[in-house]
Amino acid sequence: MNPLKKFLFELQEITNLIVSAFFGLFKKPYYLVDLIKQMDIVGVGSLPIVLLTGFFTGGVLILQTFPTLAYYGVQSEAGRSVSTSLIRELGPVLCALMVSGRIGSAISAELGSMVVSQQIDAMRALGTDPNRKLVAPRILALVLMLPFLTVAADIFGIIGGGVVASGLFNQSFDTFLTSVRNGITVEDIIGGVIKPFFFGLIIGSISCHKGLSTTGGTVGVGRSTTSAVVLSSIVVIIFDFFLSKALQTILDVKPI
């Protein structure tokens, strides 16, 4: 199939999947238990790796930027540079990539296994809509939990930066926090929280689509899982550029 036609076909399939899952949320039966279970898997299950990523990202930002800032005599603004970078960009994107690798792969593998073992066909034969039972709770859980995970990653990133600044460069933690407070704006926070909603939708929809379109038995499950993680990560990074530009225009974000 022509690459352009294949891309448009997959885009259509993913869009139909999102629309079907969205409208399925307003019809009975409501799969609330499944939603809560998925929120626990996405939120609580991903928390350790997200916090670890955020902490050491903040630490390495200070490790790399502090000597340069000190060279120009503005080391007191180290907290501003770290907090702004994390909240605007690195926090949402890195959190989305971590969740894509952990949750996106799990969703694709789980749904793919259900397809090749004909469990999806059995659900349809029993009158259960897989989009409402399986897809909607997973997408909604990602959309709801990814912003909270991003905020947690941002907080631990700032803590990690403060620990490195005070431990390795002997900067007062109070000075670091003052710089953080002076550097963060409401527009930064709003933009940093809006992005994860879209990233969660991207990861959930692509992973579910790849899982449900699995073919070729157990070998196909592996291909679908790899494809889901790679495609989700690429789309998140590309979409982040356009979303950042849109948020800069809408929120009138000032340069760092």
In order along the chain (256 residues), what is the average pLDDT of each group of 10 residues? Answer: 78 87 81 91 93 94 88 85 89 94 92 90 86 91 95 94 90 88 86 93 93 86 92 94 89 61
What is the pLDDT of the chain when averaged over all its residues?
89
CA–CA separation, 87 and 84 (whole Å): 5
Contact 105, 206 (CB under 8 A): no
Contact 180, 117 (CB under 8 A): no
User: Which residues are within 8 A (CB) of 139 and not within 5 positions of it... i.e. 6 or more apart?
Assistant: 18, 21, 200, 201, 204, 205, 208
Q: Percent helix, strand, coil in the chain (nearest 5)?
A: 85, 0, 15
- Answering whether pTM is above 0.75, one says yes
pLDDT of residue 124: 85
pLDDT of residue 53: 94
Q: How many residues does the chain have?
A: 256
Going 22 to 37 to 203 to 193, the CA torsion angle's sign is positive
pLDDT of residue 48: 93
CA 132 to each of CA 27, 111, 127, 138: distance values in angstroms, whole numbers, following the listed order: 9, 13, 11, 10
pLDDT of residue 255: 53
Choose among 99, 102, 105: nearest CA to 152: 99
pLDDT of residue 20: 86
